[in-house]
Structure 1
Amino acid sequence: MNNNPLIEYINRYVRLTQNEINLLLENTTHRKYLKGQYIVQQGDICRFESFVIKGCLKTFYVDNEGQEHVVLFAIENWWTADLGSFLTQKPADYNVQCIENTEVIQFSFEKMEFLYQKIPKLERFFRIIIQKAFVASEKRIVRNFSLPAKERYLEFKNTYPQIEQRVPQYLIASYLGITKEFLSKIRGQIIAEQ
């Protein structure tokens, strides 16, 4: 059994041989970032797909008024990137920034393409995880259109309890599309109901 978190994660979906594992690890980079550092910034080309070993990150968009809109969080055993920018190698629409000191394993675009040729199972693996991410994204869109803010918050809290404990409330409010004051009011109502 390999004690590398990335290999353990991949092996949940496809089985890699030891030679494939060695090739994969030779073509990835282990990197540490400090809290506040960016993995990618809006307007730059996203050069890496990153697997989170340790830490917490946010993916967000900054609008013309300078307002942050959080679209995703990522913690251990999750992937993060501006996927559109990574796949097209065009400027990023999103920023990916560390909320905590973070460790990741990164795949560059070129190395990813090389690994797809050498280890075809990896294409299957990435198809599966991208499909799962797409389904989760669609469900979130439906929830945002159909559920009141309180239900959206409760859904977030129940689905991602480990994130709620680690992320400042104003970022959760941004993710939910509400103000931090409104989130504070919702939390107060929930406590009063218990």
Structure 2
Amino acid sequence: MNLLLENIAKHVSLTPEEQTHFLSLTETKSYKAKTILLKEGEVCTYSFFVTKGILRSYTIDENGVEHVVSFACPGWWIADMYSYLSQRPGQLYIEVNEDAEVFLLSKENQEQLYHDIPKIERFFRILIENSLVANQQRLIDNLTFTAEARYDKFSKKYADLVHCLPQKQIASYIGVTPEFFSKMKARMLKK
């Protein structure tokens, strides 16, 4: 079964006709690594479901430093949610980390799916609730855990990603500089 349909089936059950209709309102694309799918200041018109590769979202501060907000590997959705939901210019960049294949779902087609297949609204509500919980936990972790503890948690939660991501992106995700991250990892290896 298609990875996207498997993702949906974890939360709601669609008939074969509903599955076909859902897929008819998406498009599939392949992107090369380093492709920027969304830039700060643009309106996010699509959410992306990754079937192959890795995407990441990040912001850039006034000093030109990137701050990684999230990663998306196969089976995950990614978007600038503020921009996607409000259809206003966003703050995030979305970039392809390694060659990727994705399904694109436009905001307009998502709204159409809500109307045509009410179960899809439930599906996306569950995704948004799970995302809210994960973001709250990440905020609490960033406020209360040491950098080593945040890295340890990241390594366990995303064991498959740790070896695929540049170290500077992992450092950014856990909220430390690449230099601090290198020293921290060296200290951790000595233990």
Q: Deviations over 1:7-56 (max 9, x none)?
A: 01101110000110111111100011110111211100001011100011
From 105, 108, 127, the equivalent of 2:106 is 108
Aligned equivalent of 2:65: 67
Q: TM-score, with normalisation over the residues of structure 2? A: 0.98
Separation of aligned partners in 2, 1:69 and 1:151:
19
Count of matched residue positions in the alignment of Structure 1 and Structure 2: 191
1:20 corresponds to 2:18: yes
Unaligned runs of 5+ in 1: none
Aligned equivalent of 2:180: 182
Unaligned runs of 5+ in 2: none
Q: Any runs of at least 4 consecutive aligned residues in structure 1 with deviations exceeding 4 A, and if so which?
A: none
How many percent of aligned residue pairs carry the same amino acid? 38
Q: For 1:75-86, what aligned pairs fall within 5 Å after superposition?
A: 75-86=73-84
Q: What displacement does 1:192 show? A: 1.2
Q: For 1:119-130, what aligned pairs fall within 5 Å after superposition?
A: 119-130=117-128
From 30, 33, 58, the equivalent of 2:31 is 33
Q: Deviations over 1:76-97 (max 9, x none)?
A: 1011110110001000110010
Separation of aligned partners in 2, 1:39 and 1:124:
27
Task: Give the residue type in structure 1 aligned to 2:184.
Answer: I
Separation of aligned partners in 2, 1:192 and 1:96:
36
Task: Give the residue type in structure 1 aligned to 2:168.
Answer: Y
Separation of aligned partners in 2, 1:155 and 1:186:
15
Aligned equivalent of 2:3: 5
Q: For 1:158-169, what aligned pairs fall within 5 Å after superposition?
A: 158-169=156-167
Separation of aligned partners in 1, 2:74 and 2:36:
17
The CA RMSD over aligned residues, in Å, is 0.8
Aligned equivalent of 1:49: 47
